[in-house]
Amino acid sequence: MLPAFVPPMLAVTGELPADDAGWAFEPKWDGVRVVACLGGGELSLWSRVGNLVTASYPELSVLTGLVGVPAVLDGEVVAFDPEGRPDFGLLQQRMHLTKAVDVRRARRDVQVTYVVFDLLQLDGHDTTGLPLRDRRELLEQLELRADGKVQVPGYVTGNGREVYDATKRLGLEGVVAKRLESVYRPGKRSDAWVKVKHVDSRDVLVAGWLPGEGRRAGTVGAVVLALPDGHGGLRHVGQVGTGFSDQVLDQLYAMFTAEEVADSPLRGQLDPAAERSVHWVPPTRVAEVVHTGWTRDNRLRAAVWRGLRPDLDATQVDPDGR
């Protein structure tokens, strides 16, 4: 029998601990969070918000042969580039697909790996109340290895600055610091886990799009971005017009034109002339952008598109963009 989905514990964004004794440090993997439930030779894969994504990653069925008892694992699905670095852009080519024919086609070019970093249940026993140190020891004992499809990377105790600097040299997204004595708090964001990023990235809502010009004529020129305003509405936080491949632009254009609505979710927040040029969509899709800070009028500065995040729920995007 398959164990039930366990909502994953979430990290806060912050700085390296001043005293890193008692902390574990591991890379921030730049993938999508996936909880794997195994039992009776079956597998179910769940996104961070509880959507079933098993069909998107059929190669991870290898997990059923690696664990002989029911278990719930926490980790990230990652696509690695030819140099062995996580590549979120590559993963974008897989994470939206659900039809078997589309997944098979995409797998020819983009393989994924399940990077496992926590154990939430084992053989009917809830392990979330154990310290991280003990959960990781149990996880290591499972010896989950499968020709690049499954990895259980180690962690470094202390030496947080060295790990941070090493991940920056390697071009990784950052590090996650975790208290070795921390219990696992399903569905909660806890300061027992701290993500420290090399670039500032934000989850934002897609509110609309502007038509392209020149070589982008007939497709998307820029995406209009918003965040919750904390009072039940939305606030405009700028737009993003860089970071798109031609393939992504085509996908977004098809998606947005099929969803276009007449009413602006940002009424009165844009210059009237600019607002007339925007094609609005329901603000139900989450995207990720990187940026260099905020302008005086609370717009994202130098935003660059990283991709849509179908693994995230629009209702859970925080006003501060965590």
**How large is the average pLDDT for residues 248-271?**
90
CB of 173 within 8 A of CB of 22?
A: no
If one compares 74 and 246, the residue with the highest pLDDT of the two is 74
Other beta carbons less than 10 A from residue 181's beta carbon: 12
Q: Which of 179, 203, 192 is nearest to 10 (CA)?
A: 192
pLDDT level of residue 322 (50, 70, 90 thresholds):
very low
How high is the pLDDT of residue 179?
97
Q: Which of 261, 195, 235 is nearest to 317 (CA)?
A: 235
Which residues fall within 8 angstroms of residue 38, CB to CB, at 6 or more apart? 2, 3, 63, 64, 67, 70, 71, 72, 73
CB of 258 within 8 A of CB of 273?
A: no
Q: What is the pLDDT of residues 115-125, one digit of tens each?
A: 999 999 999 99
pLDDT level of residue 216 (50, 70, 90 thresholds):
confident
How high is the pLDDT of residue 273?
77
Cα 165 to Cα 27, 169, 171, 203, 260, distances in angstroms: 11, 6, 10, 25, 44
Q: What is the pLDDT of residues 273-314, one digit of tens each?
A: 778 889 999 999 999 999 888 888 889 988 999 999 988 999
Cα distance between residue 159 and residue 19, in whole Å: 10
- Residue-wise over 161-180: b if at least 16 C-beta within 10 A, else e? eebbeebeeeebbbbbbbbb
How high is the pLDDT of residue 39?
94
Which CATH topology does 11-182+189-197 take? D-amino Acid Aminotransferase; Chain A, domain 1 (3.30.470)
**How large is the average pLDDT for residues 204-219?**
90
Q: What is the mean pLDDT of the chain?
A: 92
Cα distance between residue 9 and residue 301, in whole Å: 30
pTM, to two decimals: 0.80
How high is the pLDDT of residue 102?
93
Cα distance between residue 258 and residue 201, in whole Å: 28
| DSSP β-bridge partners for residue 34 | 47, 75
Location of each CATH 3.30.470.30 domain in the chain: 11-182+189-197
pLDDT level of residue 230 (50, 70, 90 thresholds):
confident
Q: What is the pLDDT of residues 19-29, one digit of tens each?
A: 989 999 999 99
State yes or no: pLDDT of 161 exceeds 70: yes
Amino acid at 248: V
CB of 139 within 8 A of CB of 152?
A: yes
Sheet strands (E) in the chain: 10-13, 23-27, 32-39, 42-47, 71-78, 113-122, 125-126, 150-151, 156-157, 174-179, 189-197, 200-211, 220-228, 234-240, 279-280, 286-291, 304-308
Residue 195 among the catalytic residues: no
Q: What is the pLDDT of residues 81-130, one digit of tens each?
A: 888 889 888 898 898 888 999 999 999 999 999 999 999 999 999 999 99
Location of each CATH 2.40.50.140 domain in the chain: 202-316
Class of 202-316 in CATH = mainly beta
pLDDT level of residue 147 (50, 70, 90 thresholds):
confident
State yes or no: pLDDT of 266 exceeds 50: yes
Can you say whether residue 171 is alpha, beta or left, with left for phi > 0 and alpha for psi between -120 and 50 degrees? left
CB of 80 within 8 A of CB of 43?
A: no
The catalytically annotated residue of 28, 149, 178, 197 is: 28
Measure CA 290 to chain center.
Answer: 13
